[in-house]
Structure 1
């Protein structure tokens, strides 16, 4: 007997999907998407092969495809619902934007030495065992390629990030609306640095993005590392 994993992202972003269908003119790394650094953190993307890990509805990927002249952006997400929304919103941007419904780790293993830039905006890096994802990412990058991701600097309730590689079970909903949980990794700066180093990244940096004020305020970490050339 085979079983399928419930799509815990089935409900996420549906309201916005109806009301906001434009390609954004902006790209932000901080939690509330209100300020801080933008796509310049990724470097010059002209002609580059870029991968968005856990792309959701592909809003960040669409921005890069339209405004930064990459060779191609692969927006990778395992959720059928998010893939369907991305296809509806931005399918017309092919072939510069390629929408990929796949487990991120599996996709990276299937494409070694393929990417110039990989990134995640509170995406797959937050929700995937990092000791599986980070080695897969470094192998999928070309020599000299970079990984950049933003992740929570602490839990949304204010509790501190974990001092070791440990996930938390956070609330989620099944497609039918039932209560369940999903795993999220909220780790200290030192832990992320050690994980990237162990995976084979070099020139690792971590920057704190303050959360500001308001109900959606949360500090974030902007983490980057390079595959050695």
Structure 2
């Protein structure tokens, strides 16, 4: 497999910057899906002002910045220096926001902090073995704290550890990283086996139009 920091640095350079405002004219907002201005928002996390929240794979920082703007204490981690540089350039002066370069499980195992919620939007929860990630998250959640993550639904028949390809130049082989794909009932079973409660997993349909791939959203409580 490709070194993950190199892979996500490459991915970051291919992604457009977050818009300056969303469809409602807001300068910060929360988006769980791959489509702009679609689906639920920060209410899934159930954390208000003063709550401590961890973003696993924060990318360019937009979701974590929105939480900080609402008064939460938001920590974003990512393995990619390029992603974090973009996050710091845009959001680095946001009060209540911390950004760190770290691998998800290593950070969870090394930090002494606990959190009211841990979330991942197409981030580390998709690209980390759940056998390692789920117990590590649960150890850092306060009683009743929420774990919520979103990712693409699995391709039918392709479950478990899969290869995810990040394209490069026309004469270069793509970079390869691992991801973990399961159907909603399997995610519910995995989380329950690791001691989570109130587990829910479902696919949110794509918005109207030519796009057909929905978004898998999974939530649970410690």
Note whether the superposition's TM-score is higher than 0.5: yes
Number of the residue aligned with 1:56: 59
Q: Secondary structure at the match of 2:120?
A: strand
Q: Distance in 2 between matches of 1:82 and 1:161?
A: 32
Task: Please tell me whether residue 9 in structure 1 is matched to residue 3 in structure 2.
Answer: no
Q: Hey, what does 1:87 align to over in structure 2?
A: 88
**1:223 and 2:213 aligned:** no
Relative distance call for 1:92 and 1:113 in structure 2 (3 A) is closer
Aligned to 1:75: 76
1:90-149 deviations in whole A, cap 9, x for unaligned? 11114x000010011011112356101111111111111111111100001111111011
What TM-score comes out, normalization by structure 2 length? 0.86
Q: Secondary structure at the match of 1:16?
A: coil
User: What SS does the aligned partner of 1:127 have?
Assistant: coil
| CA 209–5 in structure 1, closer or farther in 2 if over 3 Å, else same | closer
Deviations 1:154-183 (A, max 9, x none): 3xxxx31645xx211121146996522111
Find out whether 1:106 has 2:106 as its counterpart.
Answer: yes
Q: How far apart, in 1, do the equivalents of 2:4 and 2:205 lie? A: 35
Corresponding residue for residue 123 of structure 2 = 123
Structure 1: give runs of 5+ residues left out of the alignment: none
Contact in 1 for aligned 2:6/2:80 (Cα 8 Å): yes
Query: Which TM-score applies when normalising by structure 1?
Result: 0.83
Task: Note the residue ranges of structure 2 that are not aligned, 5 or more in a row.
Answer: none
Q: Is the 8 A contact 1:77 1:104 kept in 2?
A: yes
Deviations 1:169-227 (A, max 9, x none): 12114699652211121210111111111222111112321023556542112111111
- Structure 1 position 160 matched with structure 2 position 156: yes
In structure 2, distance between residues paired with 1:178 and 1:21: 34
Question: Aligned residue pairs: how many?
Answer: 214
Determine whether 1:200 maps to 2:195: yes
Instruction: From the superposition, tell whether residues 217 and 204 of structure 1 become closer, same or farther in structure 2 (CA, over 3 Å).
Output: same
1:33 aligns with 2:36: yes
Distance 2:101 2:9 in 1: 14
Q: Distance in 1 between matches of 2:66 and 2:7?
A: 25
